[in-house]
Structure 1
Amino acid sequence: MVSLQTPVCDFGQPAPDFALPGVDGRVWTRDQCRGEKGLLVMFICNHCPYVKAVRDRIVRDARELAALGIGSVAIMSNDPSDYPEDSFENMQRVAAECGFPFPYLLDETQAVAKAFGAVCTPDFFGYDAGLGLQYRGRLDASRKEAAPPDARRDLFEAMREVAATGRGPREQIPSMGCSIKWRGEGD
């Protein structure tokens, strides 16, 4: 399992558009997922220990960000052939078990992950109301285990700032996680 860190935030980079199938049977686009004040795009999967450690925090933060006008969406781009836990059926199960308050979408061709420049799970992209990138950092200090409950909520604080001012923090700590499982590539 390759562990990677995300690159530094490229402020203002536009959010790529997409139209992907969700676990709810709908096809979702970028603009259907966005909120009045911005959009949080999360690349996650079912099998990654980094994601499993923070699923409850992702749900909490997405709910609280929705109240601030930030829409959220999660995208699964792994090739499930080597990771059956990441199958569409398992995506549906995980979304239901965890009570995801956001669309959970399948990027079967992996074109959306490539368009965003996603490298790992979890990988977070926070956009302002005009869909310019303002945050490319971690959720919090969690790794393969959840950080203490009182850990600073980096992602939430950054996106709250984006909702209030349209700008993300200048200092951002990269997210860390498992590499995206690209088609035709082994670990």
Structure 2
Amino acid sequence: MAVSPPVCDFGVKAPEFILPDPDGRTFGLRDIAGARGTLVMFICNHCPYVQAVIDRISRDADQLRAHGIGSVAISSNDVAHYPQDAPDLMKLEAQKHGFTFPYLFDETQAVARQFGAQCTPDFFGYNADLELQYRGRLDSSGRSAGAPDARRELFEAMVRIAETGQGPREQIPSMGCSIKWKA
């Protein structure tokens, strides 16, 4: 079932967190924050919506680094019921798609709940003061990739945030699989 998160709650501060990557190294919000903004992405391995855009996510996060934007991906799914999202497979997924940012495991799901994450992918774009400025989609892709020349909505919004501290007022919510919450 496809889920769409609520619209951007402008100015809400990013929650602090410390989470491990699949190798057991821990990262906190301050470790990944960029000088001009921060992108927090809730993704997972198995979701077709994520798979449709995973290489675009990797490309955009990599290119945003040049604009002073730090990025992180977090998987919060219940791996007991979705073993394809387990940390050892997260590591392989990150390698396969050339992630240049940490891919962290939220085993307790507390971080997803703090952020109010709803689906995969769910994007949270913050300015340099870690105030929320973007809660929209990557681009027009859905369960399958959009056109190769699709407008790069997330990328454009994050560049604007890096330059002005403000996100666009008009945002189209992301859509994806619901986060697989533990019972």
TM-score (ref. length: structure 2): 0.99
Instruction: Return 5+ residue gaps in structure 2 as ranges.
Output: none
Residue 156 of structure 1 pairs with residue 116 of structure 2: no
Cα distance per residue 1:41-83 (max 9 Å; x no partner): 0000000000001010001100110000000000000001111
- In structure 1, C-alpha distance between the alignment counterparts of 2:22 and 2:165, rounded to whole Å: 31
For 2:23 and 2:171, the matched residues in 1 are separated by 33
Corresponding residue of 2:123:
124
Number of equivalent positions: 183
SS of corresponding position for 1:138: coil
Aligned partners of 2:97, 2:122: CA distance in 1, in Å?
19
The CA distance in 2 between the partners of 1:87 and 1:56, in whole Å, is 20
Structure 2: distance between partners of 1:153 and 1:96 = 23
CA contact (8 A) 2:21 2:87 kept: no
Partners of 1:178 and 1:68 lie apart in 2 by 30
Percent same amino acid among aligned pairs? 64
Matches within 5 A, 1:2-151: 2-151=1-150
Query: How far has the Cα of 1:24 moved from its partner?
Result: 4.0
Task: Tell me by how many angstroms 1:26 deviates.
Answer: 1.0
Question: 1:41 touches 1:126 (CA, 8 Å); kept in 2?
Answer: yes
Residue identity matched to 1:67: A
Cα distance in 2 between the residues matched to 1:22 and 1:32: 13
Aligned to 2:164: 165
Mapped contact 1:23–1:103 kept (Cα < 8 A): no
- What is the RMSD of the two structures over their aligned residues, measured on CA atoms? 0.6
Paired with 1:120 and 1:25, the residues of 2 have a C-alpha distance of: 25
Q: Aligned equivalents of 1:26 and 1:100: distance in 2?
A: 16
Q: Using the alignment, how far apart are the partners of 2:60 and 2:23 within structure 1?
A: 21
CA apart distance, 1:23: 2.5
Gap regions ≥5 residues in structure 1:
none
Which contiguous aligned blocks of 4+ residues in structure 1 show a shift greater than 4 angstroms?
Answer: none
- Higher mean Cα deviation, 46-55 or 91-100? 91-100
State how far apart, in whole Å, the 1-side matches of 2:24 and 2:64 are. Answer: 24
1:25 Cα deviation (Å)?
3.0
